[in-house]
Structure 1
Amino acid sequence: MTEERRPDELARVHYLPARTDTEVVDAEVVTDEEYAALQRAKAAARFTGYRADAVRVYRGVKTVAGHDRTKTAGRVLGREVYYLGRGAVVAVSRVWQAKTNAGLQRDMREARAAGDTALYLEIQARAEQAREHRHRRRMELLTKGPKALVTTLAVSVAVVAGLLLVLGLVLAVAQGDVDIVLAPIKGAIDAITWTYWLVVTWGFLLLTAAGVISIAALRWLGKHHSTLPAWAAPADTEPGRGRDVVPDEGAIVAALRALGYGPLNNAFKEGWSPRWVSATTRVGRGYHTQLLLPRAVPVEEIAKRKNVLAHNLLRKPVEVWPTEPKEQPGVLDLWVADQGILTEQVAPWPLLTEGECDYFKGVPVAVDARGDQIIGRLMAANYLIAGIMGSGKSSLVICLLLGAMLDPLVDIAVHVLAYNVDYDAMRPRLSSLVKGDEEEHIEAAMETLRGLVSEVSERGRILEELGGEEAKLTREIAARDPRMRPRVVVFDEVHELFTHKKHGEEAKELALKVTKKARKTGITLLWITPDADAASLPRGISKTASHRVAFAINDHQGNDAILGTGMHKRGYSATTLVAGEDVGTAMAAGFAKTPGLIRAFYVRKEKGVDEITPVVERALALGEDAGISATAAPAAVTRDLLADVAAALGGDDAPRATDVAARLRELAPRWQGYQSLTGERLAGQLEGLGVKRGAKDGYTVVRAARVRHALAEREVDDQ
């Protein structure tokens, strides 16, 4: 029952009785400061708990985010989003270029950068034509305006009539004549109903399919016309990882993207993708591919960055060769060797322990970068071999000479204008070996050159007698006529001869003359030098030599002096070879249709190992079996010009120099140095021996008194 309160009472307060059943266990009276400190401690404890919870959440999120699956999923999502965005950019760019002259303007910039004036003018004309067409279309739109206005008015009238018809139908329905009104348009209503059903049923599917196709198209554009960023790259294609795989198209494109060449980077940004002339294929012990480079990106620029390209492909520079085929301008011909293949030891020389050789078929001298054997021709061939000291020139020369020795018909003469022992072991099979860089050795080399000039002419005459102008030296002719036996003549350290103050110019003239004519007559010349410059090497020899071999070279001028002008720009360069490391490796032209890398066989002659002597002994045995003997070569082969001139003078006091030269040819008809000797050259040689030039009645003469005086002085010096 509720207790009533009086009207004058505002409220009645009820006091609950105090509880007496609660027992105080413990209590403490604290001050305000202690109470505040207690509250702060409780708050700190609560904060510590919250922080511990936050740390646990952070660690959990970090663990999940750092998991491989999360990273993979993130990369996949980022990659797909990037592809779609990039594809949309490419699509918009293509539409923009199609509707404007942006593409033509870009082509004009590239043509101007490349210096192609004809192409620039052609593109400019096309751009002007495109602008005229676009202007014509705009003018047509302006002239079609009135027609469009009339059409709009007609459509408006038709719409008003339709609205009036609909209004009549509505009034008819309002008056109850529904059947009469609907009967004529029942078929139209059925058609509209069916169309609505079709759109509702299949429209969504068609729109979905169109969306999927559009997204797929954008993804394809983005994937094939963009550079994937590192954060979105798959785990096996991140920068620094996966580069040691086969250098396929993807790896090559990635290496080109990271080449650091501005025009190539711009081409990639504009959506360029390479057109593969030849897909990457396995060739020998490496990989070969060809691709067409974009405009303003010549192969020369790629070859200049060969070191970076090799690094991007995880190769040494000597294992990557970017070149430009002569018949395919603008195409990058790229060959990438297997890792370490060019540092492995070359297989033994095939003729090291057995076998013979045929001068007319050639000698195995090296292997190419693909591992195939290289044959060095001897017949109708001349060699120009250069490379700094320690690059391995001798390895190729030794293979050529040992192979020639294994043909009993071949005569071999060697002039080394320095003191070295490379040819000493071959001495028993050589017809002559002259070593040294002193005046007498230079004279001996000059005598050989002069003799070769006359010998070339004599051999040409013999061939003409045998078969006319088209006659060629064959093995049958060489075996039948001793005068036509093949000859191999070596001039090593030849720069000493070509830079000689007295004989240099004459030596260059004679060398060029012999090199041009000797190939058809069975004479093979080997010009060997560590210096490859215009001063030490006649330019004509590098043009006429059939085989040009460049071992390690310091600069591109020397490289082109050996291999030919422009070879360095086209990628055929020996400047990346390192003497002492790439020993026996060279860039060579003449062995195949295109220049390429070769590695010479190594026949050793060093402390404790002698592989040359057994080959020489086998060659001597082959000569004995064939009835052709080879005598040991003397240390130097020459004649005493002063003594011969004194004998040729007879009793004359001052005969003409031309007459003395003719008498010398009669005195020593088999000495080749006298066969091409002229009066002027004889006077020059005598001046070098201390006999001053004489003149009488306008002719150069040789005074007997001066010759006798020079002989007497020489005899005193000898004593």
Structure 2
Amino acid sequence: MTDLHAPAHPGASGTPVPAVPEQPGTAGTPGTPARDAVPAEKTGEPKRNRRRVRIDHLRHVVVEVREHAGYRTVVRHAAYTAGGARLLTRRAWDSRTTARHERMMRAAEAAGNEELVRQWEQRAYAYRFARHRRRVELLQMAINAPKAIGYATATGVGTLLILGFLITLGTGDTSDLLTPIEAVVDFVGWVSFLASVIWEPALYSLPLIALGAAWTVGRRQHTAPAWALPADAEDRDVVPDEGAIIKALSNLGIAPLNKAIKDGWQPRWVSPTTRSGPGWHTQLQLPMGVTVEMVNGKKKVLAHNLLRKPVEVWPTEPPKLPGTLDLWVADQGSLSGPTPPWPLLTEGTVDYFKGVPVAVSQRGEPIMGKLMAANWMVGGIMGSGKSSLVIALLLGAILDPLVDVEAYVMAYNVDYDPLKPRLRALVKGDEDEQIEAAVHALRRLRDEVTERGKLLEELGGDNTKLTRELAQKDPRMRPKVVVFDECHELFMHKEHGKEAAELAVKVMKKARKTGITLVWVTVSPTADSIPRDVTRNTSHRVAFAVGDHVANDGLLGSGKHKAGVTATTLIPGEDVGTAVTVGFTNKPFEVIRSHYVAREAEKGVDEVTPVVKRALKAYKVGDVWEVPETAAADVLTDVAAVLGDEPRMLTQEVLHRLAERNPSAYLEWGPTDLKAALEPYGAEQYKSGGKSMVSRTRIQEAILDRLAEADEDEGDPEI
């Protein structure tokens, strides 16, 4: 007898079908048709039960047929061919129409990216214009074809007659006059004969070639149903395209997702898989009953299915698109290796009110660390790279001669010693004396933010925040950056911990407009070691490798781990300098790799001291500061520098290099900003092959024209 608890078989639509038990009144053999069973009237069985038995028996037969290897092979290859034909048809349709542009516009509109919508509208307009021009040219060619054919025929015949006439002059035989024409006629006849021989086999083989091409495309894109694939087939692609993503999701072991796939769920791609920096980005609407948190719970399995490390796969839920899986997959190994050198290592200055370059994003974009109206929380286990980020931030801060920097380190280490000549205060140690010094600094900051608020009213009126001009007017309003390293020692102190927490919250709430930036650094980010109100009032949160979700949420905010914004997947000792951040950009989170500036104690290289010496040159000894004038960016010169020897370059690449060259001036620039800056010189970007390019020739001509105008102005006599 069949086991009532036997595993289910997949039905024709992918729905699990339970194994069919023996029914009363049916034959004992499984293959006996239901119509041979004893009639329901004689057994007392209701008609609906007899109908259910017949349906279940039919399903059982379908399952047996589907499990047959030959049937699966036929279905698999037929699905390859049909799916490939569908894909080829769609590609042909996309290449001949604006369907692809419309699809991308809808995706960008759903994502709320108006700039990208406008870009695709422009591309669609350019495509329609070019297509219209080609059609007009073809129509004109058809109109002119008879005349052109007539001219060509007359010219050809005339040429052959002239050639025949020359042959006749040489041989003296008038019959040679038509010899060239006869030779051409014979050649055309042979070509026609060969064409007639080849034409019929080629005509019959074209459908076979088309079917073979469709089968090849379908096989590569895995268009066959999963049940028809070979049992041992596992063809995982390194490129996470739509097929690879769906296959990876279907093997996560999430029951509602598996059921949706078996029921024929067709995914809706809010944003198709596209290249995004050193990786791939896509947005997929999940089926009902499946949440992004479920996918995040299987992040390690998802990374394995996509042939990646967990740190290289980031599934999140966009704030404006609930129910949508936002997935970014890095290239294999792209988040390992050395980071680019710190942009200010050998030259450059910093404006406190614009920020400091501290890292690069997971997409390779420069990350600016905001100082004005910002507070920082940096945490992670020992050796994860916290000091590298904080040192880069402080080195940038001291390169602004207006900024005061203080550091209170509740431990004995040498990380901040190279910066000491430029620091207003450096206190080290975890004894009561150093803890009291840190508390005293917080008391002083509490009084200072109040005093600064009054000064702002006097200098700039009500509801005014600090600006560089106001800071230059009054030395009491110069910006200040204060670091509290190993701050858990401060907040967990039995005598001063409670007061320190209250003072920290008061300062952070009032310091936003007054030019005071607090930086908290810890290896123990828990609810007991870091007060929640301190975390809530922190704008920039950085989590290096942490041990568990408690530490992760203590740094990044409550619920971040479940939402997929987690640093628990970072491997200590391997992902050094890599961190998960919140508040740096308009994205829900960023994975960054901090710049590393070597200190003397590390590998015998000292890159910090030269930067400190540059910072010391910016002011005199004492409290009298020299504030150098910041030179305005020269866009023509900067663009020429980033172009180098390249005759032309993609606009996005030019913007990326400009941001690396001068982050404070160009980091927030887009194509519109670059066009507005170059258009007055006639050097704006242009379209080539549908791509926006910047020409070195245009830039050089603009620079030469500007120099010529300057020479003319100098040569004009005064009136």
Considering the TM-score relative to the shorter chain, is it more than 0.5?
yes
Q: Which residue of 1 aligns with 2:230?
A: 231
Contact conserved, 2:79 with 2:225, CA < 8 A, in 1?
no
1:593-612 matches, cutoff 5 A? 593-594=586-587, 595-605=589-599, 606-612=602-608
Give the drift of 1:227. 2.2
Q: CA deviation at 1:327?
A: 1.0
Aligned-partner residue type, residue 323 of structure 1 = T
Aligned with 1:310: secondary structure? helix
Q: Supply the distance in 1 between the matched residues of 2:425 and 2:408 (Cα, whole angstroms).
A: 8
Contact 2:77–2:224 (Cα < 8 Å) also in 1: no
Q: Map 1:618-633 to 2 at 5 A.
A: 618-624=614-620, 628=624
Q: CA deviation at 1:80?
A: 3.7
1:555 matched to 2:548: yes
Q: State the 1:360 CA deviation.
A: 0.6
Structure-2 residue corresponding to 1:428: 421
**1:607 is matched by which residue type in structure 2?**
K
- In structure 2, C-alpha distance between the alignment counterparts of 1:74 and 1:349, rounded to whole Å: 62
The answer on 1:613 being equivalent to 2:609 is yes
Instruction: Work out whether 1:77 is the aligned partner of 2:71.
Output: no
Kept in 2: contact 1:225–1:273 (CA 8 A) = no
- Residues 569-598 of structure 1: CA deviation (Å, up to 9, x unaligned): 111111111221111111101111121211
Q: How far did 1:73 drift?
A: 11
**Corresponding position of 1:243:** 237
> What does the per-residue CA deviation read over 1:37-64, in whole Å, with 9 as the maximum and x for residues that have no partner?
xxxxxxxxxxxxxxxxxxxxxxxxxxxx
- 1:604 is displaced (CA, Å) by 0.9
Task: Give secondary structure in 1 for the equivalent of 2:484.
Answer: strand
CA–CA distance in structure 1, aligned partners of residues 328 and 440 of structure 2: 46
CA–CA distance in structure 2, aligned partners of residues 510 and 317 of structure 1: 39
Q: 1 CA distance for matches of 2:538 and 2:259?
A: 43
Q: Verify the 8 A CA contact 1:379 1:522 in the aligned structure 2.
A: yes
Q: How far, CA to CA, are the matches of 1:225 and 1:569 in structure 2?
A: 34
Aligned to 2:465: 472
C-alpha separation between the residues in 2 aligned to 1:524 and 1:82?
A: 62
Tell me the equivalent position of 1:568.
561
> 3-state DSSP class of the match of 1:525?
strand
Superposed displacement of residue 414, structure 1: 0.2
1:409 aligns with 2:405: no
Q: 1 CA distance for matches of 2:613 and 2:522? A: 28
CA RMSD of aligned residues (A): 2.8
TM-score by length of 2: 0.56
Evaluate the alpha carbon distance shift between residue 229 and residue 502 of structure 1 in structure 2; reply closer, same or farther with a 3 A threshold: farther
Over residues 8-32 of structure 1, what are the superposed CA-to-partner deviations in whole Å (9 max), with x where a residue is unaligned? xxxxxxxxxxxxxxxxxxxxxxxxx
Between the aligned partners of 2:229 and 2:413, the Cα distance in structure 1 is 57
Contact 1:384/1:562 (<8 A) preserved? yes
The code of the aligned residue for 2:474 comes to D
Aligned counterpart in structure 2 of residue 454 of structure 1, from 447, 456, 467 = 447
Distance 1:356 1:391, change over 3 A: same
Shift of 1:229: 4.2
**Cα deviation, residue 232, structure 1:** 7.7
1:400 matched to which residue of 2?
A: 393
SS at match of 1:297: coil
Check conservation: 2:236, 2:306, Cα contact below 8 A.
Answer: no
Q: Using a 3 Å threshold, how does the CA distance of structure 1 residues 421 and 74 change in structure 2: closer, same or farther?
A: farther
Residue correspondence of structure 1 range 286-685 to structure 2 within 5 A = 286-594=279-587, 595-605=589-599, 606-624=602-620, 628=624
The answer to whether the Cα contact below 8 Å between 2:361 and 2:591 also exists between their aligned partners in 1 is yes
Return the letter of the residue paired with 2:511: A
Question: What is the one-letter code of the residue matched to 2:295?
Answer: I
Task: For 1:77, give the aligned amino acid.
Answer: V
Relative distance call for 1:85 and 1:342 in structure 2 (3 A) is closer
Is the Cα contact below 8 Å between 1:352 and 1:615 reproduced in 2?
Answer: yes
Indicate conservation of the 8 Å contact 1:225/1:268, yes or no. no
Report the Cα distance in structure 2 between the residues aligned to 1:269 and 1:611, rounded to whole angstroms: 59
What do the CA deviations read for 1:281-326 (whole angstroms, capped 9, x no partner)? 0011110000000111100110111111111111110000000011
Q: Which runs of 5+ in 2 are unaligned?
A: 1-68, 84-214, 627-719
State how far apart, in whole Å, the 1-side matches of 2:614 and 2:534 are: 34
CA contact (8 A) 1:365 1:600 kept: yes
8 Å contact from structure 2 (residues 76, 229) kept in 1: no
Cα distance change of structure 1 residues 447 and 248 upon mapping to structure 2, 3 Å threshold: same
Q: Distance in 1 between matches of 2:608 and 2:353?
A: 22
State the alpha-carbon separation in 1 of the partners of residues 481 and 310 from structure 2. 35
Contact 1:227–1:268 (CA under 8 A) maintained in structure 2? no
Cα shift readout 1:262-283 (whole Å, capped 9, x = no counterpart): 1111111111121000000001
Q: By how many angstroms is 1:625 displaced?
A: 10
Cα distance in 1 between the residues matched to 2:625 and 2:522: 31
Please report how far the alpha carbon of residue 223 of structure 1 lies from its aligned counterpart in structure 2 after TM superposition: 8.3
- What is residue 124 of structure 1 aligned with on the other side? none
Does the CA contact (< 8 Å) of 1:408 and 1:626 recur in 2? no
**Inter-CA distance 402–301: structure 2 relative to 1 (3 Å threshold):** same
The one-letter amino acid of 1:407's match is D
Alignment CA distance shift 1:230-1:79 (3 Å): closer
**Does the 8 A contact of 2:80 with 2:224 survive in 1?**
no
Quote the offset at 1:242 in angstroms.
3.9
Q: Which amino acid letter does the alignment assign opposite residue 273 of structure 2?
A: T
Count of aligned positions: 422
Give the Cα–Cα distance (whole angstroms) in 2 for the partners of residues 628 and 273 of structure 1.
Answer: 69
Kindly indicate whether the alpha-carbon contact (under 8 Å) linking 1:224 and 1:273 is maintained by their aligned counterparts in 2: no
2:480 and 2:324 mapped to 1: Cα distance?
42
Q: Tell me the secondary structure at the aligned position of residue 610 of structure 1.
A: coil
Cα contact 1:225–1:271 (8 A) shared by 2: no
With the length of structure 1 as denominator, give the TM-score of the two structures: 0.56
Q: Which residue of 2 aligns with 1:259?
A: 252
SS in 2 for 1:448: helix
Task: Decide whether the 8 Å contact of 1:263 with 1:296 is kept in 2.
Answer: yes
Residues 291, 323 of structure 2: 8 Å contact kept: yes
Q: Which amino acid is 2:74 matched to? A: L
Contact 2:484 2:520 in 1 (8 A): yes
Larger radius of gyration: 1
Q: Which amino acid aligns with 1:287?
A: W
The alignment partner of 1:403 has SS state of helix
Q: Which residue in 2 is equivalent to 1:123?
A: none
- What's 1:11 paired with? none
* Cα-to-partner distance string for 1:411-459 (whole Å, 9 max, x where unaligned): 0000000000100000000000000001100110010010000000000
In structure 1, stretches of 5+ residues that fail to align are 1-71, 87-215, 631-719
Distance in 1, matches of 2:361 and 2:272, equals 21
Structure 1: distance between partners of 2:469 and 2:622: 14
SS at match of 2:550: helix
1:712: which partner in 2?
A: none
**Among 251, 264, 268, the residue aligned to 1:271:** 264
* Contact 2:244–2:306 under 8 Å retained in 1: yes
